[in-house]
Amino acid sequence: MSSDRIREKLQILSAAAKYDVSCASSGVNRKNTSKGLGDAHACGICHSFTEDGRCIALLKLLYTNNCIYDCAFCISRRSNDIPRAAFTVDEIVDLTVNFYRRNYIEGLFLSSGIFRNADYTMERLTLIVKKLRLEHRFNGYIHLKTIPGASEDLIMEAGLYADRMSINLELPTEAALKQLAPEKSHETVKRELGLVHNKLVLYKDERKIIKSTPRFVPAGQSTQMVIGATKETDKDIMYTASAYYKGFSLKRVYYSGYIPVNDDSRMPAIGSQPPLLRENRLYQTDWLIRLYGFEVQEILNDANPHLDTDMDPKLSWALRNLHMFPVDVNTAAYEMILRVPGIGILSAKKIIQARRYGRLHVQQLQKIGISYNRAKFFITCADSPYALKDPDAVYIKKNIMDNSKSKYLKVPQNQLSLF
């Protein structure tokens, strides 16, 4: 292959893949037992960080950016006049192996435009993963996109070689999708997430009894939706996410702030700022639901359909529920300590362990690593100062805001408005 042509292809097909957010390389322990190449770590490893602050763990590529679909939000849609390219199977295999050997990457993230039809495309992707695993004895991480509409057999075969599979919801609601990508539907996504999910559960159960049962998508599934392209509320978005987490045991839902790539009067104009703050708040909410034991209805509901922009959702929730505070860190349950603004998972665990040796004081809590300036309004400990009256939400909020430097204070105001 000529080196100029491969460089050109890589530039086109990685630039087209950059809007896929997931770069996780975690969730699977794939051991290198055959003295082959590579292994995969449960906790995931990043190998570089681009100027936008995002990590590079995987070589993220489209097999081709030729596509039969015409989705309004997508740079690769068929009606766009852009340079098109397609890799060969060997080119992708070769890039992956050689990048991996130099410790540039943890593995491959492979997606594609739909070329000819769904089955043809899925078959190519499967060929690539199969070749890596079988011919090159490659044990690195592989994240494979499920091509919407591909046949069950092909998806099942691919799942034997991939660590994670994903298929994008694209937009938070079916209505929005119908409007901007009429050829796609959430029903297809559900069908395929369901196929993989059922098989995954089945294989996992069988493996408990028969050790030789092959692994099937051991790192689970994820999905992604674009936010800020259409006019959903934060509540709409998070309720959808929550339903998919529950329905398909997804490992992750990714929220991708829309970056206008096409001229379309139905969406934000080219050049408008991506809604980064909103995206950040959605991820914070996602964390609270997955890891902090919150129900989505506690954070977002009809009275509060949008997340606050000036403070994080955990603080908002606490200020709306002051009757549940203060929490005595020396006696309260772990679940309640976890809900205190300024206390994270690691600190909460340390507090539970440490308090068995004696009542904890302010100084000890600070050393353990909690954000005391934030937490102090919501906790009592061995030497808490005696308060004359309970402070109100306005006072607490002002006090915390005045004493903390939000990373978004310097963000120009126009970025806060979504349209």
For residue 32, state whether it binds other proteins (rule: CB under 8 A).
yes
For residue 86, state whether it binds other proteins (rule: CB under 8 A).
no
Nearer to other proteins, 165 or 368 (CB): 368
Binding-site size, other proteins (CB under 8 A):
58
Nearer to other proteins, 272 or 309 (CB): 272
State which of residues 5, 246, 266, 367 lies at the interface with other proteins (CB under 8 A): 367
For residue 414, state whether it binds other proteins (rule: CB under 8 A).
no
For residue 259, state whether it binds other proteins (rule: CB under 8 A).
yes
Distance (Å, rounded) from C-alpha 339 to C-alpha 325?
10
x/- mask, other proteins, residues 276-295, rule CB under 8 A, reads: x-------------------
**Binding segment toward other proteins, per CB under 8 A, in 63-71, 100-108, 148-156, 239-247:** 100-108
State which of residues 147, 351, 396, 400 lies at the interface with other proteins (CB under 8 A): 351
Nearer to other proteins, 98 or 249 (CB): 98
For residue 267, state whether it binds other proteins (rule: CB under 8 A).
no
Distance (Å, rounded) from C-alpha 352 to C-alpha 356?
7
For residue 189, state whether it binds other proteins (rule: CB under 8 A).
no
Distance (Å, rounded) from C-alpha 345 to C-alpha 265?
44
For residue 75, state whether it binds other proteins (rule: CB under 8 A).
no
The burial class, CB within 10 Å (0-12 / 13-18 / 19+), for 178 is: middle
DSSP 171: S
**Binding segment toward other proteins, per CB under 8 A, in 150-158, 188-196, 313-321, 361-369:** 361-369
Q: 370 vs 175, 206, 350, 380, 413, CA distance in Å?
A: 43, 43, 10, 13, 31
State which of residues 335, 358, 398, 406 lies at the interface with other proteins (CB under 8 A): 358
Nearer to other proteins, 156 or 411 (CB): 411
For residue 10, state whether it binds other proteins (rule: CB under 8 A).
yes
Distance (Å, rounded) from C-alpha 372 to C-alpha 341?
9
State which of residues 5, 42, 48, 205 lies at the interface with other proteins (CB under 8 A): 48
For residue 344, state whether it binds other proteins (rule: CB under 8 A).
no
For residue 364, state whether it binds other proteins (rule: CB under 8 A).
yes
Q: List the beta strands (DSSP E) in 93-140.
A: 107-111
Q: How many CB atoms lie within 10 A of CB 18?
A: 14
Q: 296 vs 228, 252, 286, 325, CA distance in Å?
A: 20, 15, 9, 20
Nearer to other proteins, 293 or 358 (CB): 358
For residue 143, state whether it binds other proteins (rule: CB under 8 A).
no
> Quick one: which of 207, 241, 210 has its CA closest to 227?
241
Nearer to other proteins, 46 or 322 (CB): 46
x/- mask, other proteins, residues 323-342, rule CB under 8 A, reads: --------------------
Enter the tokens of residue 146. 């499920």
Enter the tokens of residue 244. 């998919």
> Quick one: which of 29, 21, 71, 1 has its CA closest to 261?
71
Would you list the DSSP string of 36-77? Answer: -B--B-TT----EE-TTS-EE-EEEEESB---S---TT-TT-
Distance (Å, rounded) from C-alpha 257 to C-alpha 415?
12
Q: How far is the CB of 18 from other proteins (least distance, A)?
A: 5
Distance of CA 237 to the CA centre of its chain: 14
Q: How far is the CB of 367 from other proteins (least distance, A)?
A: 5
Q: How far is the CB of 52 from other proteins (least distance, A)?
A: 4
- CB–CB of 128/87 below 8 Å? no
For residue 50, state whether it binds other proteins (rule: CB under 8 A).
yes
| Cα R_g (the chain), whole angstroms | 24
Nearer to other proteins, 318 or 370 (CB): 370
Where do contacts with other proteins occur on this chain (CB under 8 A)? 3, 6-7, 10-11, 14-15, 17-19, 31-32, 35-39, 45-56, 59-60, 95, 98-99, 101-104, 137, 257, 259, 273-274, 276, 350-351, 353-358, 360-361, 364, 367-369
